[in-house]
A = this chain, B = another copy of it.
Amino acid sequence: MATPTSVEVINPFIHSTTNALQTMAFIKPAIGKPFLKTSQNLVCDVSGSIGISGETTGTINVNFGTEVICKIVSNMLGEAHDIIDETVTDAVGEIANMIAGGAKGEMQAKGMNFTIALPSVTVGKNHSHAHPTDVPTIVIPFSMDQGDFAVEVCVKEQ
């Protein structure tokens, strides 16, 4: 069985995140070293949260600062965006969806089965996330010219 901290869980989210950014925004982010989250001090300005449930269950957060997400959305839509408006929050939900959907295919091939919930997007300067303390949360850091962003993966098998 894949543990929540194993490469079988982490790699699909690395692949789906880089694929989402490349496909939608023509950006190839650099991938940092994933680490076990031990505090809430991972702040952002806009984030997408999406649940997965079934035999494998969890929650995924993708966290952006304002400058980073505005660059991504500007690339996606081919027009300048410099504030977090409804266009940007829609895009964050779509990115969260793509990350979960992309990871699903790769995880299913390893025997981890789940369905994907609807995303919710959070807007607020310097917010952070907490997860159930009995399930490890892995942070996958990414960086691009405009700054860093992160994907938090909190997944367990039933």
Contacts and interface: CB of A to CB of B under 8 A. Distances in A.
A61 interface: yes
Contacts of A133: 86, 90
Report the contact-size class of chain A (Cβ under 8 Å from the partner): 35 or more
Interface in A100-123: 114-123
B53 A59 contact: no
A156 interface: yes
What is the oligomeric copy number? 2
Given A50-B51, A123-B127, A126-B124, A118 B59 contact: yes
Interface of A: 40, 43, 47, 49-54, 57-59, 61, 86, 89-90, 93, 114-133, 135, 152, 154-156
